């Protein structure tokens, strides 16, 4: 497997600055950029399979960038955990886009966002056209209305780190809380899990992210989530990009009714569901990869 290059961008925060890591695939000078952003407790290497497929299908004439959102992967941890929220992440992504535009002009900008990454994508899509507007947006198992029981489920494990003797032991532990991702071979799951841990100085491994990302998450209540829903619908309705909405048919986070509503209002998303999958599709399965690559690389309609 070809490996991506690891890069960093400096972003402002209330304590000064922090570095956000990003993984880059393809041609760094390509004018077509696809940004892929992961879910709440994940990291940018989740998109290895999809990124390789996109670059191959574009015959190399594509730049795919997969950031580790701050507090995750190779990115810095924030001194103030209150910064672990969507508006701050959107600011980081604008800093990233500014740096990428400085390195090579961006003519076409597309976005793939899984769960949290999709909400960040909505925020970026609503920003003024800098450096260019988001053209096509993939929302992976997320929408303006998020089911409370799914948030409660995530809250049972978020921020609770352990120590593992091996990457395989860590992979087994993560699979116990990730079966909703759908069927994966042992090799596929180990590949997804390898970047999810980091070595400890005393030996062994632990999860890759700052446990403090759970601090603002745990302040969320069912009432505050409901209050934010109206604002998210307004944001969704304002998006001008073409939207592909991918959903695990058994998702507990994105309700079927919400997904259907997203096809009927605002940008009128195209909905594709994957059987045997909950929250959220990983874009490792070739059928899932085909759906996304076709959407992003199809010719423009006349």
Could you identify the residue written with the tokens 């191959």?
56
Provide DSSP, 153-207: HHHTTTT----BSSHHHHHHHHHHTTGGG----HHHHHHHHHTTEEE-TTSSEEE
Per DSSP, the three-state class of 275 is coil
Half-sphere exposure of residue 184: CA atoms within 13 angstroms, side-chain side: 25
Q: Residues 53, 289: contact at Cβ < 8 Å?
A: yes
In this prediction, residue 227 carries a pLDDT of: 87
> pTM score, two decimals?
0.97
Q: Answer whether 58's CB lies under 8 Å from 33's CB.
A: no
Q: Which residues of the chain have pLDDT under 70?
A: 1, 301-302
Read off the DSSP letter of residue 124.
H
Q: Is 224 exposed, middle or buried (0-12, 13-18, 19+ CB in 10 A)?
A: exposed
Whether residue 172 contacts residue 133, with contact meaning beta carbons closer than 8 Å, is answered with no
Domains and CATH numbers, the chain: 5-143+229-297 (3.40.50.1820)
Q: How far apart are CA 52 and CA 50, in angstroms?
A: 5
Residue 232, pLDDT score: 96
The predicted-structure confidence for 93-126, as pLDDT tens digits, reads as follows 999 999 999 999 999 999 999 999 999 999 999 8
Q: What is the pLDDT of residue 301?
A: 58
The pLDDT of residue 1: 56
N-term to C-term CA, the chain: 37
For 112, phi then psi, to 5°, come to -120, 125
Q: Return the residue matching tokens 């909400």.
A: 119
Burial class, 74, CB count within 10 angstroms (exposed 0-12 / middle 13-18 / buried 19+): buried
Closest CA to 138 of 275, 279, 36, 290: 36
What's the pLDDT tens digit per position in 47-77? 999 999 999 999 989 999 999 999 999 999 9
Contact (Cβ atoms closer than 8 angstroms) between residue 82 and residue 216:
yes
Instruction: Using the structure block, give the residue that is written with the tokens 């632990």.
Output: 206
Integer Cα distance of 240 and 125 in angstroms = 8
């Amino acid at each position: 497997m070809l490996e991506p290059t690891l890069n960093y961008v400096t972003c402002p925060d209330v304590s000064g600055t922090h570095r956000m890591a990003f993984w880059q695939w393809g041609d760094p000078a390509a004018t077509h950029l696809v940004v892929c952003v992961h879910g709440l407790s994940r990291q940018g290497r989740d998109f290895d399979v999809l990124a390789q497929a996109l670059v191959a299908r574009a015959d190399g004439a594509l730049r795919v960038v997969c950031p580790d959102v701050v507090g995750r992967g190779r990115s810095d941890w924030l001194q103030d955990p209150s910064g672990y929220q969507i508006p701050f992440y959107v600011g980081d992504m604008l800093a990233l886009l500014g740096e990428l535009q400085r390195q090579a002009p961006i003519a076409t900008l597309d976005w793939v966002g899984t769960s949290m990454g999709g909400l960040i994508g909505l925020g970026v899509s609503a920003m003024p056209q800098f450096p260019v507007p988001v053209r096509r947006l993939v929302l992976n198992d997320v929408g303006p209305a998020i089911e409370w029981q799914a948030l409660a489920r995530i809250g049972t494990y978020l921020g609770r780190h352990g120590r593992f003797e091996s990457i395989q032991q860590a992979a087994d532990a993560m699979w116990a809380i990730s079966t909703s991702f759908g069927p994966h071979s042992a090799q596929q799951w180990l590949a997804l899990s390898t970047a999810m841990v980091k070595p400890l100085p005393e030996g062994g491994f632990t999860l890759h992210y700052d446990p403090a990302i759970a601090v603002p998450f745990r302040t969320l209540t069912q009432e505050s989530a409901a209050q934010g829903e109206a604002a998210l619908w307004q944001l969704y309705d304002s998006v001008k990009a073409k939207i592909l909405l991918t959903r695990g048919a058994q998702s507990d986070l994105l309700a079927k009714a919400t997904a259907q509503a997203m096809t009927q209002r605002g940008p009128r998303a195209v909905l594709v569901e994957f059987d045997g999958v909950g929250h959220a599709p990983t874009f490792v399965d070739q059928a899932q990869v085909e759906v996304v690559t076709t959407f992003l690389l199809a010719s423009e309609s006349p």
